[in-house]
Amino acid sequence: MADDKKVSDTETNADCGVCDRPVRKIGVLCGLCEGWFHVGCEKLSKDDYEKLTELGDKSHWFCKTCRSKFKGMKKEIQVLREDNKALKNRLEAVEKRMDDLQNDIGESDRRNKRR
Ligand SMILES: [Zn+2]
Ligand SMILES: [Zn+2]
């Protein structure tokens, strides 16, 4: 029978991203930088850790470093969005002018042909 299935705990040979000591068992994996961290080093509560292990691969936990990067990214995205809006408005203005120009050209064309 297939009862040789071992329940694999979080086992890794990686070093903790905070204290640089091997993580071995009770650690969490960051979904962004893929670094391992001791539960204690990242100040996770037992509840948090249990939730994370329950979710397994689906738990997208992010370490402190990545979380602070996220905050910066969020701001950057906000700025980019504003830029995008401004660009869109300018593009629309340019498109409108091109339409006007095309109309002008079309009209003068017609006028020229009539002559
Ligand atoms: Zn550590
Ligand atoms: Zn990370």
User: How much is the pLDDT for 20?
Assistant: 95
- 72 alpha carbon – ligand 1 mean position (Å): 25
Query: What is the rounded average pLDDT for all residues in the chain?
Result: 85
pLDDT tens profile 50-105: 888 888 777 788 999 999 988 888 899 999 999 999 999 999 999 999 999 999 98
What CATH number does residue 44 fall under?
3.30.40.10
CA of 67 to the centre of ligand 1 (A): 17
- Position 73 in a domain: yes
Note whether 91 and 115 are same-domain residues: yes
Instruction: Indicate whether 12 pLDDT > 80.
Output: no
pLDDT higher than threshold 60 for residue 11: yes
Do 94 and 50 lie in one domain? The reply is no
What is the number of the ligand closest to the CA of 16? 1
Rounded to the nearest angstrom, the distance between the alpha carbon of 5 and the centre of ligand 2 is 31
Q: What is the CA radius of gyration of the chain?
A: 29
For residues 47 and 18, give the distance between their C-alpha atoms in angstroms, rounded to a whole number.
Answer: 21
Number of domains making up the chain: 2
Same domain for 55 and 89, yes or no, is: no
* pTM exceeds 0.95 for this model: no
Q: Quick check: 29 and 17 in contact, CB under 8 A?
A: no
CB-neighbour burial class of residue 16 (10 A; exposed 0-12, middle 13-18, buried 19+): buried
- The pLDDT, as a whole number, for residue 113 is 75
Q: Would strands 22-24 and 36-38 be described as parallel, antiparallel, or unpaired? A: unpaired
Residue 96 confidence (pLDDT): 96
- SS3 label, residue 28: strand
36 CA distance to ligand 2 middle (Å):
8
Give me the residues near ligand 1 (ion), CB cutoff below 5 Å: 16, 18-19, 38, 41
**Full residue range of the structural domain in which residue 109 is found:** 67-115
Q: What percent of the chain has pLDDT over 70?
A: 89
C-alpha of residue 27 to centroid of ligand 2, in Å: 13
Q: By CB neighbour count within 10 A (0-12 exposed, 13-18 middle, 19+ buried), where does 28 fall?
A: buried
- Residue 75 shares a structural domain with residue 53: no
